[in-house]
A and B are shown apart, each in its own frame.
Chain A
């Protein structure tokens, strides 16, 4: 995680078993896995590479939604071939995963007033973050947007845990009509922002944070190849001065002030002010 590069996260191949399968909405699936070695090691904002049981496609990167006791869960929208296959799994099925992976959210500060912004399935990356911030006594406002009311999955769960909810839907069926970032920009300035969602939303969060004069941690999404840092397929332009920048010569040595960092390895969470996208 940001600022905690020394922490040894011990990623591994974990053979898990599906304990529970729930459809939170049409095409939104929650799988709870028996995975004691992952539950203990996972930090907020980390993800898994889920190996397709058929072996017929690349592994899928999915955020760890929840990690508790001996269980971790993954929450995903069925959008293509790979998530369709995962959606067919049932209780008792085996699911092999790599993880926990990536540098997640840094929740270690003593920030009192934070905003978490989640768009669509981005909600899956922020539960552990919200829970940790609440545990540390922060006031957490969750700005949560989706296409339509039904897809604002588990909003009540965040409210029950102590988050103040600000909801938005594209069609106005719940909360404000429009983008969740429009509610953020009109809100009272938080001390720190955490966000996960589609790239246009994250760019806007970065702009809003800059306007507020506060920092933001953004969890980026991109098409992954290997998911473990080996292929340099999922990258984002980052300041070479960032502590998260990959090893690359600076401009004065024929290199560059901006480098492509791997979202899977250096990220997925980056400081908004260090991105050059």
Chain B
């Protein structure tokens, strides 16, 4: 009998036993989900983004359920890096999975400062740079929408740590591939593709936007094809690993991302349907690879890449 297929993967220096990350902002600190999910069966938790200063977050309502997904506009609510290091971070020690910190900011210096402080802690094994939050009034997403600003943020963060740096990209751009290339060239170890897609919903009774922030970020199965395409195109342009994310709920969804070129997947909104989905996906991936006699998940990464078939020349009577 063959040995169990290998699900372990690497993102830069970050070694994960399973190719599954829990998306930032969807999974709290992990403790919230611990009663319902086996954290030893997931690769890593990406913590909620932290900023230099405390942020109250957006006014309510912050969530709207929409067809095949949901809109959110939380607004990076967090206690700020000082309070976070002092009061929160110790809780993450001893988790049965890896912990990835997430950094958001409004100035290049903010990113560098928070990244340095966070990465210096042993509880944190890698850093995700959130240059793509669509729900903050000022420059939050601007960094991820401009290749040069992306480059400057990544370079600044890179200078502060040797730990794995994952850059989370926004789909709300004209050319996500160009930004992915810049992030790679500036020192990113991996790319998280994609953050939420901007959207809005209007209450037709009150004639008002349904979100307190007016606009929000769309997640869930509604954005999956957008995310699969982004992974597919970026995979052709960069050589660093990609964490694919956007509406992954089932084995078939996960496989789409691996085949498009993702080395790992991130699960966010699906945890709101059933917190057992991540461990179920790992078991199903394992069974899938075994059934197909594939030794490791890495063997299927990017296997969907093909040339567009050329249509046969029509050779009719009229010549």
Contacts and interface: CB of A to CB of B under 8 A. Distances in A.
B74 interface: yes
Given A51-B274, A255-B79, A223 B36 contact: no
Contacts of B27: 230
A78 interface: no
A253 B83 CA distance: 9
B137 to A, nearest CB: 16
B273 A229 contact: no
B28 A230 contact: yes
Report the contact-size class of chain B (Cβ under 8 Å from the partner): 35 or more
Interface residues on A, range: 35 or more
A182 interface: no
A249 B32 contact: no
A232 B72 CA distance: 10
B32 A233 contact: no
B273 A231 contact: no
A249 B83 contact: yes
Contacts, number: 121
A207 interface: no
A197 B87 CA distance: 35
B273 A233 contact: no
Q: Is the interface of A mostly helix, strand, loop or mixed?
A: loop
A228 B36 contact: yes
A227 B79 contact: no
B46 to A, nearest CB: 12
B61 interface: yes
Contacts of A233: 62-63, 72, 74
Contacts of A185: none
B272 A226 contact: yes
B170 to A, nearest CB: 19
Interface in A14-58: 51-52, 55-58
A98 B64 CA distance: 21
B118 to A, nearest CB: 17
Contacts of B83: 247-249, 253, 255
B60 A98 contact: no
B133 to A, nearest CB: 13
Contacts of A12: 35-36
Nearest to A96: B274
A59 B35 contact: no
A52 to B, nearest CB: 7
Interface string B54-80: 101100111111000010101001011
Given A58-B65, A249-B54, 15 more contacts: A13-B35, A13-B36, A13-B275, A96-B274, A223-B61, A226-B26, A228-B32, A228-B36, A231-B272, A234-B62, A235-B60, A235-B62, A248-B83, A254-B54, A259-B56
16 contacts: A51-B273, A55-B249, A58-B272, A82-B65, A228-B32, A228-B33, A228-B275, A229-B28, A233-B63, A233-B72, A233-B74, A247-B88, A249-B54, A254-B53, A254-B54, A255-B80
